[in-house]
């Protein structure tokens, strides 16, 4: 088995589990305050993000206010892009930009094949393809810091007959995310129906993993078993993680670290962000 396919299958195995966290219960979303955000996006206020991997002397990263897509990009939306840019169709995309398996859930180059699939998040897209889509809609991919910052917000817990609506945060949120990471693959829910958070962003957890603009900036410290070549990276300081107990975040960084830009993965999609210029 080639290394790439091994890495991918492990990533698939780990990433697995895309049942919505609350299977069956479609949350009754409260109205979202979108502010000045364009349609389909919400405002994320600026602030400070404490990076998961830190280097000496760097406490936090300033996040400028930005707009984030409410939900992951769907197959249908991606088809619009492919139709307008046929160089990104399955049979024409070069191997350097998307590996085998690109859009393999589709019936053919320009046919998705199924209404449920149309509204599900698009997966099996490479970073190059996601990046090109984002540019096409005049947006961009979020940075890791932006994605993680938006994902810090508590999740909104929809009302069910047995409990009132509320939010879920802290350890309980972590446990929920980990439980989702550990569950085997399942059919994807329609994009925008899973786990809204306090900003009104949905699907960050419980649907698909998502590409980030700078996914290749995850540089995990050298292998403690001593296999890695100590001269293989040029370091700007000691790198460590601030919270070794935060496995959920650790897994996301490990996942990003395992990716190459041409990879296509069954449960890896994306969403876009845009600058908030005011």
> Which residue lies nearer to another protein by CB, 102 or 149?
102
**Smallest distance from the beta carbon of 28 to another protein, in angstroms?**
30
* Residue 265 CB partners (closer than 8 Å, separation 6+): 8, 11, 12, 15, 123, 124, 209, 259
**Smallest distance from the beta carbon of 115 to another protein, in angstroms?**
24
> Which residue lies nearer to another protein by CB, 103 or 201?
103
> Which residue lies nearer to another protein by CB, 93 or 188?
93
**Smallest distance from the beta carbon of 263 to another protein, in angstroms?**
7
How crowded is the C-beta side of 50, counted as CA atoms within 13 Å? Answer: 8
**Smallest distance from the beta carbon of 171 to another protein, in angstroms?**
11
> Which residue lies nearer to another protein by CB, 18 or 199?
18
Strand, helix or coil at 223? coil
Binding site for another protein (CB under 8 A): 2-7, 10-11, 14, 55, 58, 61, 90-97, 99-100, 102, 109, 127-128, 131, 178, 181-182, 213-214, 216-220, 222-223, 227-229, 231-237, 239, 247, 250-251, 254-255, 257-258, 260-263
Place of tokens 């404490």: 50
* CA 267 remoteness from chain centre: 9
**Smallest distance from the beta carbon of 126 to another protein, in angstroms?**
9
Spatial separation of the C-alpha atoms in residues 23 and 20, rounded to whole Å: 5
> Which residue lies nearer to another protein by CB, 91 or 162?
91
Spatial separation of the C-alpha atoms in residues 130 and 212, rounded to whole Å: 9
Spatial separation of the C-alpha atoms in residues 198 and 150, rounded to whole Å: 9
> Which helix (DSSP H) or strand (DSSP E) does residue 172 occupy?
helix 170-182
**Smallest distance from the beta carbon of 72 to another protein, in angstroms?**
21
> Which residue lies nearer to another protein by CB, 30 or 113?
113
* CA nearest neighbour of 266 among 81, 115, 117, 113: 117
* CA nearest neighbour of 269 among 200, 192, 165, 162: 192
């Amino acid at each position: 088995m080639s290394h790439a396919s091994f890495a991918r299958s492990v990533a698939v195995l780990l990433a697995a589990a895309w049942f919505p966290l609350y299977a069956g219960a479609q949350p009754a979303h409260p109205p979202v305050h979108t502010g000045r955000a364009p349609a389909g996006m919400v405002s994320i206020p600026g602030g400070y993000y404490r990076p998961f991997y830190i280097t000496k002397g760097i406490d936090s990263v300033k996040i400028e206010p930005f707009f984030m897509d409410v939900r992951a990009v769907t197959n249908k939306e991606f088809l619009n892009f492919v139709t307008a840019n046929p160089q990104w169709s399955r049979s024409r995309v070069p191997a350097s930009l998307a590996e085998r398996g690109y859009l393999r859930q589709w019936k053919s180059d320009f046919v998705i094949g199924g209404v449920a699939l149309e509204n599900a998040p698009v997966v099996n897209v490479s970073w190059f393809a996601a990046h090109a889509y984002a540019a096409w809609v005049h947006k961009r991919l979020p940075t890791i810091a932006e994605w993680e910052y938006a994902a810090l917000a508590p999740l909104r817990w929809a009302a069910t007959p047995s409990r009132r609506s509320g939010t879920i945060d802290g350890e309980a949120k972590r446990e929920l995310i980990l439980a989702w990471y550990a569950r085997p693959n399942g059919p994807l829910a329609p994009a925008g129906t899973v786990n809204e958070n306090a900003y009104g962003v949905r699907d960050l957890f419980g649907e698909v993993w998502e590409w980030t603009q700078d996914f290749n900036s995850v540089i995990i410290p050298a292998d403690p078993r001593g296999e890695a070549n100590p001269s293989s990276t040029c370091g700007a300081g000691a790198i460590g993680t601030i919270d070794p107990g935060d496995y959920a975040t650790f897994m996301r960084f490990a996942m990003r670290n395992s990716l190459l830009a041409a990879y296509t993965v069954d449960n890896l999609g994306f969403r876009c962000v845009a600058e908030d210029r005011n």
